Every structure is written in C-alpha cells, then in structure tokens.
Amino acid sequence: MRTSATNRASGLVLLVALLAVVAFLSVTQGSRSIDLTDVLRALGNLGDDGTITSTVTLELRVPRTLVGILAGAALGVAGAILQGVTRNPLADAGIMGINSGAAACVVFAITVLGIQGVSYYVWFAFGGAIIATFLVYTIASMGREGATPVKLALAGAAVTAGLTSVTSAIVMTNIDALNELRFWQVGSLAGRYTPILVGVAPFILLGLVASLGLGRVLNGLALGEDTARGLGQRVGLTRAAAFGVVAILAGAATAACGPIVFIGLVVPHLARFICGPDYRWILPYSMLLAPIVLLLADVLGRIAGAPGELQVGVVLAVLCAPVFVGIVRYARLVEA
C-alpha cells in the first residue's frame, strides 16, 4: 500500500511512541513480581540504593531493554539492506553466514584459547561475523559478473554449511565447548548487562547512521543492475558498502544476543507493507518496528515462562513463522 510522505512521517512518530511504551513494559514487566510504584521510584532515582527492586530494574532490566532496542534495530535494518542488495525477499543475515561465523569464533575461543564467559564471547562472535560476511562477499565477487544476487545467495549457503559443519564437529568432540555454546546460540536478551551494552552500542549506532544513506542506492538496485548503472551508480561499490554496513550491524547484534532469527526476515516485509517499496522509508521503519517486535517477544517470554523465562529466540520462532507465511501468501495474492 502506498502512502504520502506526510502519512509515512506520521507513522514513524507513532512507532517511536509505541517503542517507548514497549520499552517501559520491558522494564516494568518480568518473571519477578515487582510493584509498579517501586519500579517507577527506582527509575526516578536513577541510582542503585541497594534494594532488590532497584538492582533488578537498573542493573538487569534497563540494560536488557537497551540491548534489545539496539539489537532489534540493527537486525531489522540489516535484513532490509540485504533484501535490497540481493533482490531476494527471503534474504536475511543468516544467508551471509553471520551466525555460523560468530559461532565458529566462539568455539575457537572456548576450545583453543580456553576463554569462558559471555562478556568475552561477544568480541569473538563480532569478529567471526564480520569475517564470514566479507568471506561471502569475496567469494561471490569472483568471476566476470561480480557479486550478483544469485552468487551472493550461493556463496552465503556454502560458507554457512562449511562453518556449521566445522563447528558441529568440534563441539561434538568437546563437551565443554558444547555446554558453553548451547547457551549462547539460543538467541536471548537474558544476562545482557551494561558491559555488553557499552561494547556493542558504538558499532550499532555507527551502522544505523550509515544505513540511512543507503536508501537511494537501494532503490536504484531494486530496478535492476543495468538501470542502476544507467542512473550513474557504481553497482560493485554500492554492494560492497551495503555489505560492510550489514556486517557491522548484524555482527554486533549477533555478538550481543546470539543468533536471533526471523527479525531480519519478517520486519522488512512489514515495513514494506506499511510504507511501500521506497527504501528511504523502509530502512527507518524497519529500524523502529524490529525492536518493538523483539521487546514484545522478550516480555512475553518472561511472563509466559515465569518463574523462569522462555528465550526470545524461541518466542520469535513461534510468533513470526506464521506471520511470515501470511506475508508470503499476501504477496502471491497481490502478484496474481
């Protein structure tokens, strides 16, 4: 559905307000029952006074919510960029081997370097995600035609399969690596404290700012390579820049939260349904819709699994799978 620029801008304002409401729910709701007035008092004081309410609110839930906002925005925008660059509606960060690259480096840290602890894993995961991204792009760029959409998809599948096989072979023969890795690979916002937030925030913010300048060139690529070149675009340079931004965004988000699925796949379709095919609007819409969906799933997982919690990756898989089927079905009806 196509809307005017005014309506699109109004939609962004509404999404900002909705994100604020969802963020408030994320801070105030959870598996631990805390009185709302105590939560508001802790937020108002902005200092840990030693009470359980203050500690849970300021040291656990606030960093967790902020990580969710940043990671959600990063994954949503990364998915939108990938779908634009590859002209593949099923593209997301997984096709570039980001998850498998991050997992491979975490396994290397555990088995070879003997490192343990999520706060250390994030840096190895971030590095592995970036290495895998550029490996996929390098392989796809070989040959006279360069990094075409088909070659990018095939290179991503090949790198993902290779790294996944290596990782599986290692963890199956090393029980310590298997036990450590399985908690990180689920995809979760639990245990994401301030040090992780501080570590990934600069990378995600840099990637988000850079992504907003890609809308026009993604619109050109959507018309086809020949048309984009006719408009004066350097297609190879555009793809390289876009993949660099995706590597930063998806790499940092995966490093912080593990491999959270479906966000980068479903959210760009929702954004496109709301604001139309213009990537100058799809990118900011995805930037706001994705953290809303991620935080809602996280809150639902905490409430439904009380006194424990369901990992957000599991909740998203249950919620987003039927939504994605509906999106695909709607697209087919429109084309018909």
Q: What's this model's pTM, rounded to 2 decimal places? A: 0.86
- pLDDT tens across the length of the chain (336 residues): 445 778 888 999 999 999 999 998 888 877 666 666 766 676 666 555 556 667 777 778 888 999 999 999 999 999 999 888 888 777 788 777 887 888 888 888 888 888 777 677 778 888 888 888 888 888 888 877 776 777 877 888 888 888 888 888 887 777 777 766 776 677 788 777 788 888 889 999 999 999 998 988 888 887 777 777 776 777 778 888 888 898 889 888 888 888 887 888 889 989 988 988 889 999 999 999 999 999 999 999 888 877 777 888 888 888 877 877 776 666 554 444
Secondary structure element (H or E) that encloses residue 210, with its range: helix 194-211
Residue 167 near residue 132, CB atoms below 8 Å? no
> In this structure, which amino acid lies at residue 88?
N
Secondary structure element (H or E) that encloses residue 106, with its range: helix 98-111
Domains of the chain: 5-335 (1.10.3470.10)
Whole-angstrom distance, CA of residue 278 vs CA of residue 218: 9
Whole-angstrom distance, CA of residue 255 vs CA of residue 303: 25
> In this structure, which amino acid lies at residue 96?
M
Handedness of CA 271, 275, 277, 278 (dihedral sign): negative
Residue 58 near residue 48, CB atoms below 8 Å? yes
